[in-house]
Structure 1
């Protein structure tokens, strides 16, 4: 999946920079330009504590959660986690459709697509500085088990595990969409949470990585609400969703798959 390259590149580029200064992104970065980047970002070093210490109860919890996910390899949940791993194809926002109750895609909801796509840079960069500071090894590096994106394991080895930028993006998308479709907020936020947990299922992130990614997402979304361009696009997406009536398919199967995860 190409998203790994993008997250790794921007993580390195942003590391060491002040969280209140523009993150330096290389030309062609797949994260693109967000609402806040370059610009003020939440300070992840201040926001997040250090990852669980070796031998701590918190680390033991991470290890147990990783072990619980290993038997899911090859299952429907593993397949869903593999789909969730793709952040940059035209299909990457489709997983939010069932929770929102409408078909979400570049074709059916282009204004929403633009909004979410633009926040990807803000949410993805929200964990960059602390990831670089700690360079926590990922689960597959410790347990020796495969991931759902094996081609990118060499790149993942160079990118710190804590916190999860993927979790920040998925959960952030969920928070934004929940605001747009308030009567389905619980389902949408739950799907955003599961989107991040797919990284545990894929054996590329620890549970605490994913949980801290949600905190980064919440802080970033709060900051986004003070941005006029974000507010304008949010309003346009809200109006678009009110007219979107197509119902997504296979939602019962997705719900069963998500409910079966330990």
Structure 2
């Protein structure tokens, strides 16, 4: 099977998400839990041609095997995360489960110090929407090859977001696409807003950890997702269109930071939820 074939079959969800690539279009509210698989030719343009995407199958080791120390680590991490069910952190993980626009940009609003919306910051919003396709697709070489069973399936349980479970049962667990997207966004946003870099990177990390809290991914899936995110963001920096959009987004960020951010109860609640989970 060629590398192009390995990424040729992708969830129909990416087609819906790709509506956010055009600033003249309205992105969908959420990722549809649709198990159909889509023809990549129906995807709108992203920054990178398919042959330029990082090859996750080449970059990642195999997922942990049954009975291995790494698999034991995954099970222990899952048990620890299960204690958060019903908590504020679990609710935050439920919100993080929605892969869509404006949901994902809003997930980073508190860390950034301002909202990321299409009306006020169209170049930043469009940059994130367009790069999402590259980051997401970069995970599928390994996903489709290993077809790792997700933890909620292996343990005959459910996730924090039942709407997507039918899709997830047919989508490989390794590496985590959610983790890759969250970390990829965090790397770019931290570059654009270095004064808030620690908060942004923490939020990107926790966006991935939400998948552990939700029982939708193993810890090793999440860790591997960050590797693929870093590889994709590095490759994006070699693309002229990405660099042009990055500089336009930087101007929007600079303008937003010149205005004082109002107090936000939602941000206080988010900080509290994240602090509680880190204390476990």
Task: Tell whether the structures are fold-level matches, with TM greater than 0.5.
Answer: yes
Post-superposition offset of 1:146: 1.8
Q: Partners of 2:124 and 2:252 in 1: how far apart? A: 8
For normalisation by structure 2, the TM-score amounts to 0.83
Q: Partners of 1:104 and 1:131 in 2: how far apart? A: 30
Post-superposition offset of 1:19: 5.6
Give the corresponding residue for 2:267. 251
Give the corresponding residue for 2:96. 84
1:152 to 151, 164, 174: 164
Q: Deviation string for 1:79-132 (max 9, x for gaps)?
A: 111111112132321111111112222233221110001011001011101111
For this pair of structures, how many residues does the alignment match? 247
Give the corresponding residue for 2:232. 220
Q: Which moved more, 1:45-54 or 1:239-248?
A: 239-248
Give the corresponding residue for 2:60. 48
Q: Partners of 1:35 and 1:246 in 2: how far apart? A: 33
Q: Partners of 1:223 and 1:41 in 2: how far apart? A: 8
Question: 5+ unaligned residues in a row in structure 1: which ranges?
Answer: 1-15
Q: Partners of 2:159 and 2:81 in 1: how far apart? A: 11
For normalisation by structure 1, the TM-score amounts to 0.88
Post-superposition offset of 1:30: 2.1
Give the corresponding residue for 1:18. 3
Cα distance change of structure 1 residues 151 and 224 upon mapping to structure 2, 3 Å threshold? same
Cα distance change of structure 1 residues 259 and 183 upon mapping to structure 2, 3 Å threshold? same
Q: Deviation string for 1:26-51 (max 9, x for gaps)?
A: 99812423211434111111100000
2:87 to 65, 71, 75: 75
Q: CA RMSD in A?
A: 2.1
Give the corresponding residue for 1:4. none
C-alpha contact (below 8 Å) 2:17/2:101 kept by paired residues: no
> Is residue 130 of structure 2 the alignment partner of residue 118 of structure 1?
yes
Question: 5+ unaligned residues in a row in structure 2: which ranges?
Answer: 19-44
> Is residue 44 of structure 2 the alignment partner of residue 30 of structure 1?
no
Post-superposition offset of 1:20: 10
Post-superposition offset of 1:241: 0.8
